[in-house]
Amino acid sequence: MILDGKKLSKNILNNISLEIKTLKNKPCLAVILVGDDYASSVYVNKKIKTCNEVDIKSIDYKLDKNYKEEDLLKLIDELNSNDEVNGILVQLPLPVHIDTKKIIKKISAKKDVDGFSPTNLGLLLSNDTPYFYPATPLGIMMLLEHYNIEVKAKNICIINDSIIVGRPLAAMLLNKGASVSICHKLTKNLKDYTLNADIIISATGVLHLLDDSFFNENAIAIDVGICKKENNKLISGDINYEKVANKIKAISPVPGGVGPMTIAALMFNTLKSYKEKNND
């Protein structure tokens, strides 16, 4: 079975767009990109395009790669106190002269639609309800739920330990009763974890890291990885789809799986932020 994130995200975005038509004002997302990293600008442009499609107002800041950390902190301060803005998204990674943790910490937890702030991650880790769940893990949870894939009491292997994917996703799954292993580049014998897992979620960015020998026949695989090919084109995933798809129970493809679900989850969070502020 193919876990079709493209189709599901279209339904979610359609519902978001219909709901926005009933509101007094448009939700508003501030999108900040510092520098000219190719992949980051592709992601940011997709997010801005989707905002337009669902009628979320986006305020776009495409800033020079030398933009100063103190100026970025000031900009976030202004956006935090701007009543029109419901969500603030700072595209990662930031240039090395900027302290990412400092920037994320500055975003108000109530506008942190990416869900990376210490407040939101802390609430999640303490099995409390954060203001926002991080977009990629939320998109993955929505995908699993849509296909009625139970996570309670399942063995789940996540190959990624970042705050963008692996850590919050592990907490979300744990909070729902899954047994979770987090693997990463220092993990020895990755197959010991993947072969015993009911669900494998991979987000390494290593092209075709996993072939069919990593999965048991009942496995469900979620591919988050986006791998660059020589011509800078962003395609393909961590999982060798051709070799794996017919040998396991279900798989989410790249493209058309987690990518569109991440964007749908971001729009969902922005609308949620608007509704919580405005009681519309």
Residues with a catalytic annotation lie at: 47, 91, 114
Closer of 206 and 250 to ligand NAD (Cβ): 206
Closer of 12 and 224 to ligand NAD (Cβ): 224
Closer of 130 and 253 to ligand NAD (Cβ): 253
Whether 226 has a binding-site annotation, put simply, is: yes
Give the strand pairing for 155-159 and 87-90: unpaired
Residue 44 in contact with ligand NAD, rule: CB under 6 A? no
| Dihedral sign (CA 77, 278, 87, 139) | positive
Closer of 30 and 226 to ligand NAD (Cβ): 226
Which position among 12, 30, 224, 248 is part of the footprint of ligand NAD (CB under 6 A)? Answer: 224
Residue 231 to residues 37, 68, 93, 121, 203, Cα–Cα distance (Å): 14, 31, 21, 36, 21
Whether 160 has a binding-site annotation, put simply, is: yes
Which position among 87, 137, 225, 253 is part of the footprint of ligand NAD (CB under 6 A)? Answer: 225
Dihedral angle, C-alpha 65, 67, 69, 75, nearest 10 °: -120
CA 246: distance to chain centroid? 26
Whether 37 has a binding-site annotation, put simply, is: no
Nearest to 267 by CA among 83, 12, 43: 12
DSSP three-state, residue 69: helix
Report, in Å, the least distance between residue 9 CB and ligand NAD: 11
Binding mask 162-201 vs ligand NAD (x if CB under 6 A, - otherwise)?
A: x-xxx----------------xxx-x--x-----------
Nearest to 204 by CA among 189, 182, 220: 182
DSSP assignment letter at 239: B
Report, in Å, the least distance between residue 184 CB and ligand NAD: 3
Report, in Å, the least distance between residue 153 CB and ligand NAD: 25
Nearest to 238 by CA among 215, 264, 261, 265: 215
Residue 203 in contact with ligand NAD, rule: CB under 6 A? yes
Q: Which residues contact 250 (CB under 8 A, 6 or more apart)?
A: 1, 2, 3, 147, 149, 220, 221
Cis peptide before 255 (omega within 30 of 0): yes
Bridge partners of 234?
A: 228
Closer of 190 and 199 to ligand NAD (Cβ): 190
Residue 120 in contact with ligand NAD, rule: CB under 6 A? no
- Segment interacting with ligand NAD, rule: CB under 6 A, options 18-26, 28-36, 70-78, 161-169: 161-169
Residue type, 79: L
Measure the CA–CA gap between 111 and 141, rounded to whole angstroms.
21
- Segment interacting with ligand NAD, rule: CB under 6 A, options 13-21, 147-155, 156-164, 272-280: 156-164
Provide the binding-site residues for ligand NAD, judged by CB under 6 A.
Answer: 136, 159-162, 164-166, 183-185, 187, 190, 203-206, 209, 224-226, 258-259, 262
Q: Which residues fall in the annotated binding site for NADP(+)?
A: 160-162, 226
